[in-house]
A = this chain, B = another copy of it.
Amino acid sequence: MRAAIAGASGYAGGELLRLLLGHPSFEIGALTAGSSAGTRLGEHQPHLPALADRVIQDTTAEALAGHDVVFLALPHGQSAAIAAQLGEGTVVVDCGADFRLESAEDWTHFYGGTHAGTWPYGLPELPGQREVLREARRIAVPGCYPTSVTLALFPAFAAGLVEPDVVVVAASGTSGAGRAPKSHLLGSEVIGSVSAYGVGGVHRHTPEMEQNLAKVAGGPVRVSFTPTLAPMSRGILATCTAPAAPGLTAAALREAYETAVKDEPFLHLLPEGTWPATAMTAGANTAVLQVALDERAGRVVAVAAIDNLTKGTAGGAVQSVNLALGLPEELGLPLNGLAP
């Protein structure tokens, strides 16, 4: 199968290429981008010598036509126009936010402008979603933060073990902010520093978390979400807490998580007492989980670590595409990470 990547010079594009180079079912077709069109890929992704001499084309429907799969790793708002020009038989995967939300109202509140629509949501671990993805020809890849938070909390909500009043504080590596040069993302600024941003309910990933958890909970869920930027290139550590349901025991909580991850190829529940670190997941499509009951504070604390570019973006995208194409879900996706 041939795969095209729009946005090949960015971080998500580079990670898609890294994964597809190791995937036995894909041949890499067109590579396109905006301002990088006309240059060689090696200038932008020097860690991929296998593709160093490939020339990047302009992102147009013509360049992307004729592929089995088209991955769109474009700035928000640019996917709809391109997708409309691609054949219905093509699997089109949007790594941006355009088609994630179901609520047009939430879209307008958080992103502004008009909602482009809703595509099947590319998180196979969400109960029932694997079956949806097997039939999908359009896939909305989840945001990196919502991936981590949903995976951390869905077992608790699915089993009715927590109240729907969630507090999340997550640390992300800098690659989540993309490759466009900005002063506050300079190495000099981020090295040696952890900072908060998008505080107070304004981060765009908030309604996506609420949408996911509400489906599992069977009712509305409130999320207080604070993202922070940490001095590392990759990784998200999401610390998620919610009030424990009355009478919850640590054993019941553990059992719910063990059950939830049992058949999941990319969820790894750590042994009791060991807590996730983002370094456990670098380059892997794995989410590493742990959970505890804080009886003193009356809260469940669930922590997830993922690689924001792999499970949080490109790996999650390939996992969903595997399902859509009838391939084994794990095919070509690293379970193991790169450490130290």
Write out the residue numbers on chain B whose beta carbons fall within 8 Å of the beta carbon of A233.
Answer: 187-188, 191-192, 339-340
Chain A positions 154 through 168: 1 when the CB is less than 8 Å from some CB of chain B, otherwise 0: 000000000000010
Across the interface, do B182 and A224 meet the contact criterion of CB distance under 8 Å? no
- Let me know if A174 and B191 touch, CB within 8 A: yes
Per-residue 0/1 for A272-287: is the Cβ within 8 Å of any B Cβ (1 yes, 0 no)?
A: 0011111111111010
Nearest CB to that of A268 among chain B residues? B49
Chain B residues within 8 Å of A2, by CB = none
| Complex interface residues of chain A between 60 and 78 (CB less than 8 A to chain B) | none
Selected contact of A196 from candidates B206, B222, B237, B336, CB within 8 Å: B237
Q: How far is the CB of A46 from chain B (nearest CB, A)?
A: 5
A284 to B45, CA, bound (A): 14
Q: Are A279 and B187 in contact, CB atoms less than 8 angstroms apart?
A: no
Residues of A309-340 at the interface with B, using a CB-CB cut-off of 8 Å, are 334-340
Interface check A200, CB cutoff 8 A = yes
Residues of the B chain whose Cβ atoms lie less than 8 Å from the Cβ of A105: none
Residues of B within 8 A of A231 (CB): 187, 191, 230-232
| Inter-subunit contact A46/B340 (CB<8 Å) | no
Complex interface residues of chain A between 186 and 219 (CB less than 8 A to chain B): 186-197, 199-201, 206
Q: Does A7 contact B (CB under 8 A)?
A: no
* B186–A47 touching, CB < 8 Å: no
A275 to B337: give the CA distance in the assembly, Å: 27
Q: What's the nearest-Cβ distance from chain B to residue A233, in Å?
A: 5
A32 within 8 A of B: no
Are B297 and A223 within 8 A (Cβ)?
yes
Stretch of A81-89, A123-131, A298-306 at the chain-chain interface:
A298-306
Q: How far is the CB of A302 from chain B (nearest CB, A)?
A: 9
Interface of chain A residues 256 through 297 with chain B (CB within 8 A): 268, 270-271, 274-284, 286, 288, 290, 292-297
